[in-house]
Amino acid sequence: MKHSSRKIEAGEPVSPRALIATARESLARAYAPYSKFPVAAAVVDDEGRVFTGVNVENASYGLTMCAERVAIFTAVSAGAKKLRALALTSKNGSSLMPCGACRQVMAELFDSAAPVYSDTGKERYKTTSLRDLLPKPFGADDL
């Protein structure tokens, strides 16, 4: 049986390419019958565990959930406390970036310097940071 989490050996750094490869493996499980735009994400927590997510669409379009949030919520549900990096892939090798809602959710669990790797096809990817994507998140201090 395939699991959505995989354990990296203690201390083993997760390379961007390995994280992207893991996301790619789950892309076929995306549920995107309406947009026909499958997306997959992989996140790694501070213990080196990797979790994946895919977008899950709905006939009531607004209920669609992005791959990033599925990966993040899967990680938290499995006990992850801090997330270190996120990789993102879609079918056409375009350098997809997380939507605004996902960026805000990321700000809850990732450091602002955390890298976001966006698959651009073949062996290539683009790296940004959460800080670049969302410089001023809403946070606990704003409450």
Active site residue ranges: 68
86 contacts: CB under 8 Å, gap ≥ 6: 19, 41, 42, 43, 68, 71, 72, 98, 106, 110, 114, 115, 116, 117
Q: How far apart are CA 103 and CA 125, in angstroms?
A: 19
Q: Which stretch binds ligand THU (CB under 6 A): 9-17, 64-72, 79-87, 120-128?
A: 64-72
Site string for ligand THU, 90-129 (x = CB under 6 A): ------x-xx--x---------------------------
Binding-site member from 24, 37, 128, 134 for ligand THU (CB under 6 A): 37
- Residue 37's CB is within 10 A of a number of other CB atoms, namely 14
Binding-site member from 32, 44, 75, 86 for ligand THU (CB under 6 A): 32
Q: Which two tokens stand for residue 30?
A: 């995306």
Binding-site ranges for ligand THU (CB under 6 A): 32, 35, 37, 39, 55, 57, 64, 66-68, 96, 98-99, 102
